Amino acid sequence: MTMTDKVDFSGVAWGSVEWTNLCTLYLRAYESGSPAPILGDTAAAEAVDRIDYDWARMRRAMRPGSNQYLVTMRAKQLDDWSAGFLRRHPDATVLHLGCGMDTRALRLAPPKTVQWFDVDQPDVIALRRRLYEDRDGYRMIGSTVTDEAWLDQLPTDRPTLMVAEGLVMYLTEPQVRALLRGITDRFGSGELAFDTVSPMGPRLSKIFTKGIIKWGIRDARELERWNPRLRLLEQSFVGALCERIPSAPVRLLWRVVNATPMRNYDVLNRFAF
Ligand SMILES: C[S@@+](CC[C@H](N)C(=O)[O-])C[C@H]1O[C@@H](n2cnc3c(N)ncnc32)[C@H](O)[C@@H]1O
């Protein structure tokens, strides 16, 4: 999957979708340099080393020191759920949706018997292909997840894990319903691991971010009523791993968040079907 030559990403426009993927990549890479990382994404650090980009400007914008933990705690919980599924189902299909530049497939290093698909919009996958290449057991698919044709390319005879970090809030509610229905109708059994934001997300986004966040839900348990095949297994809020943050002031900040309804802003959900 990996290549080693330098790649020039200087054309990635500040504020674009591709740029947001570089932001989260940078934060994961930054955190891997901590003496006691929560995620320890050394593959992200290698990617940042390979990519020619104005990382100094990125550093000023992202202000790592406190901001990396939202991203790394969220990724860690989804990684742990995914790793658990792969231990139980080493012959699984993994649908990693809205993958951006995330190195989840490298972090989890699944066995060769797993079929892993990284899926994102065509422009994002075109950029990703400059960093990584397909190999046995690993393929990238450039497609919107709202067009069900991408599902036709996948094996349906294996236990299937969908993992989607920071994706479904960018879809409309009918699109989320259709996506989940498309997966549970097509694959025999599996799990879905993804984060959802509260209804505050789209409301705030209308004011601050031109409405790019389209969907929020108060409690994702409601999805069981949308789709009777879904069974909620567990939920966790993003800050649940905050006791592992090495910096005392940042840890305290997260404790405060966790003690208030703000903890329910971004919730991680694991469903079986
Ligand atoms: C906030 S980024 C998160 C990326 C990655 N999961 C991470 O944590 O770094 C959201 C990603 O979802 C992708 N995305 C949004 N809408 C999508 C759609 N309809 N189909 C496929 N990908 C989509 C974007 O292109 C972007 O890469």
Residues 135-154: tens digit of each pLDDT:
999 999 999 999 999 999 89
Report residue 1's pLDDT band, with 50, 70 and 90 as the boundaries.
Answer: low
pTM, two decimals, is 0.96
pLDDT at 114: 98
Q: How far apart are CA 201 and CA 220, in angstroms?
A: 14
Lookup: tokens for 112: 């060769």
Evaluate: CB of 19 within 6 angstroms of ligand 1: no
Q: Measured between alpha carbons, how far is 117 from 143 in angstroms, rounded to an integer? A: 12
Structurally, the chain folds into a number of domains equal to 1
* Distance between CA atoms of residues 38 and 224, nearest Å: 31
Residues linked to residue 197 through DSSP beta bridges, in sequence order:
266
Q: How confident is the model at residue 112 (pLDDT cuts 50, 70, 90)?
A: very high
Whether residue 129 is contained in a domain is answered as: yes
| Mean pLDDT value across residues 243-271 | 96
Q: Is 67 in the pocket of ligand 1 (CB under 6 A)?
A: no
Structural domain contains residue 74: yes
Residue of 25, 58, 121 best suited for mutating to test ligand 1, as the one with most atoms within 8 Å of CB: 121
Q: Would you say residue 231 lies in a domain?
A: yes
Residue 85 is predicted with a pLDDT of 98
Question: Ligand 1: which of 170, 179, 195 to mutate, judged by most atoms within 8 Å of the beta carbon?
Answer: 170
In a domain, 50, yes or no: no
Kindly tell me if the per-residue pLDDT of 2 is higher than 90.
Answer: no
Whether 9 is in a domain gets the answer no
Q: Is residue 183 part of a domain?
A: yes
Question: What confidence tens digit (pLDDT) does each residue in 176-234 have?
Answer: 999 999 999 999 999 999 999 999 999 999 999 999 999 999 999 999 999 999 999 99
Q: How far is the CA of 3 from the centre of ligand 1 (A)?
A: 23
206 phi and psi angles, rounded to 5 deg: -60, -35
Is 225 within the bounds of a domain?
Answer: yes
State the pLDDT confidence band at 64, using cuts at 50, 70 and 90: confident
Residue 121 maps to which CATH number?
Answer: 3.40.50.150
Alpha helices in 129-243 (DSSP H): 173-186, 200-208, 223-226
Task: State whether the beta carbon of 165 lies less than 6 angstroms from ligand 1.
Answer: yes
Domain extent, residue 232, equals 69-272
Separation of CA 16 from chain center: 17
Q: Is residue 4 part of a domain?
A: no
As a whole number, the mean pLDDT across the chain is 96
Beta bridge partners of 96: 118, 163
Query: H or E segment at 94?
Result: strand 93-97
